[in-house]
Structure 1
Amino acid sequence: MTDAWEVDPAYENYIGRWSRLVAPQFLRWLAAGPGGAWCDVGCGTGALSHTVLRTADPARVVGVEPSAPFAAAARAGADDPRFEVRPGTAEAIPAADGEFDRVVSGLVLNFVPHPVEGLAEMRRVTRAGGTVAGYVWDYADGMQMIRVFWDAARELDATAATLDEGARFPLCRPQPLRDALSTAGFTEVAVHPLDVPTVFAGFDDFWRPFLGGQGPAPGYCTSLPAGRRTALHDLLDTRLPRDDAGRIALTARAWAFRGSVPA
């Protein structure tokens, strides 16, 4: 099973809508001044790039994205001459040494096969004294919609334990992130929690995104035979709390990280 990230609407329904809530918090924490050249590595459908354009007053923003459908969605969502998208990956960024003042990346680093190498490549394209920063979900604990999904899946299927992002991505905790940044040669390393509400109108609003096949949990869900998928649906339906209006109010925690390129 692969971590598929290709279908724009399914991604938006599953994670994109929540990533768009995290991006403004992340930029406030980053506290970058106006101007400068930015690069958004793994820009996806543009959640972070578009927020930079709206709120950070950049001179320009370059998105780097390997998925052609996601890159097209990012371009379509920002009618701004300061924005371009280039094909590439975190380990092969199509940019010159020191081209950017700030390199950022949202919800990507844990999917990079060799995260330290990816960070080193981000460092390469950042000027001396510049900043590399990003954020990842707290899969082990604080990203509740994914945590509750895998907890239920593991009760019904022992093999789900090897697919659980909390187990697969130990990087997504404060100390491993600090260690990776330090190993990649950054100074002034910092890690900070970002919490956003994830409120679902009802159980169908929670469940439907897991049928889109985008990402590890939906990929697992859609791979199940119908009967086992129904059992997972029913277990989650009984487990999730509702308020008086039937809404399911959860929270999502991301860990933001940043480091400086030595001058």
Structure 2
Amino acid sequence: MDVWSSGEIYESYVGRWSRKVAAEFVSWLDQPPGLRWLDVGCGTGALTSTILGTANPAAVVGIDPSPAFLDHARQTVQDERVRFEVRGAEDLPDESFDVIVAGLVLNFVPDRSGALRRMRELGQTVAVYVWDYAGEMQLMRYFFDGMIALRPQDSAHDEGARFPFCTAEGLEKLFAEAGFNDVTTRAIVVPTVFESFDDYWNPFLGGQGPAPAYLRSLDEAAQVELRDEVRSRLPIAADGSISLTARAWAARGN
């Protein structure tokens, strides 16, 4: 089970990179001002705050099943145009929206096609993005490649294996299953630069999300072994910094 319970831990792990992707994503959608948006799985508010700051919406509803994430969002996203509700993707508000978006959440929704069908019923434009777990989401890829090298028996924990639909083709298939006829996809690539190995590794110690939860499940010796294996694979510069990139796949349908 993938547990998400702390906004601060999420932000240090992938939230800070999600914000970079959100900016490119909203720009790509290129929606006119004055629309009503629904942010499904809004988490700590990365995408919600980007919509408010760049899309000039009339209103935004952010929903997420984690009360702790929404508490973080309410503290950091203070705007009279937004409201937050504790809801999952299977329980969308019974309202109509001009744009429905879901950032980095579709892989955690059990009935993905069903959720997209419901979004299609309620929204004029539906768009999502997911990490490229099997490919160029490098901060996670280095971790799981190290894990597989040391403990191939645990390869089922690899998010690339768990979420094979997180590709352009996979998203196109999901949208087609949900009844969308006009589907567009694109890659969004953002830099993920770490000041040091500790800056890279420490977020994995939070225990939140699939990779950190897997790490926490290991005994101390196995954790140290995996840490050293991952460090040996990373492109660490002479000054100790690590320059990676993170790729997300985005899809939109009308």
TM-score, normalised with respect to structure 1: 0.95
Q: In the TM superposition, what is the alpha-carbon distance from 1:243 to its structure 2 partner? A: 2.0
Q: CA deviation at 1:206?
A: 0.6
Displacement of 1:160: 2.2
Partner of 1:7 in structure 2? 6
DSSP 3-state at the match of 1:39: strand
Residue pair 1:90, 1:121 contacting (<8 A) in 2 also:
no
Give, in angstroms, the shift of residue 28 of structure 1. Answer: 1.1
Unmatched 5+ stretches in structure 1:
none
Displacement after TM superposition at 1:159 (Å): 2.8
Unpaired stretches in structure 2, ≥5 consecutive residues: none
Corresponding position: 1:112 with 2:109: yes
Give the aligned partner of residue 62 of structure 2.
63
SS in 2 for 1:221: helix
2:84 is matched with which residue?
85
183-192 or 45-54, which deviates more: 183-192
Counterpart residue number, 1:39: 38
| Rounded Cα–Cα distance in structure 2 between residues aligned with 1:125 and 1:214 | 32
Amino acid at match of 1:254: A
Deviation at 1:244, TM superposition (A): 2.9
1:21-40 equivalences in 2 (<5 Å)? 21-40=20-39
Q: Secondary structure at the match of 2:49?
A: helix
Contact 1:8 1:73 in 2 (8 A): yes
Letter in 2 for 1:46: G
* Displacement of 1:124: 2.2
Count, aligned residues:
254
Whole-Å Cα distance in 2 between the matches of residues 44 and 19 of structure 1?
11
Q: Once superposed, which parts of structure 1, at least 4 consecutive aligned residues long, lie more than 4 Å away?
A: none
SS of alignment partner, residue 187 of structure 1 = coil
Distance in 1 between the 2:94 and 2:237 partners? Answer: 49
Which of 138, 144, 148 is residue 150 of structure 1 equivalent to? 144
Q: Which residue of 2 aligns with 1:131?
A: 125
Q: What is the aligned counterpart of 2:161 among 162, 167, 184?
A: 167
Q: Is the 8 A contact 1:138 1:172 kept in 2?
A: yes
Aligned to 1:51: 50
> What root-mean-square deviation, in Å, do the aligned CA atoms of Structure 1 and Structure 2 show?
0.9
Give, in angstroms, the shift of residue 95 of structure 1: 2.6
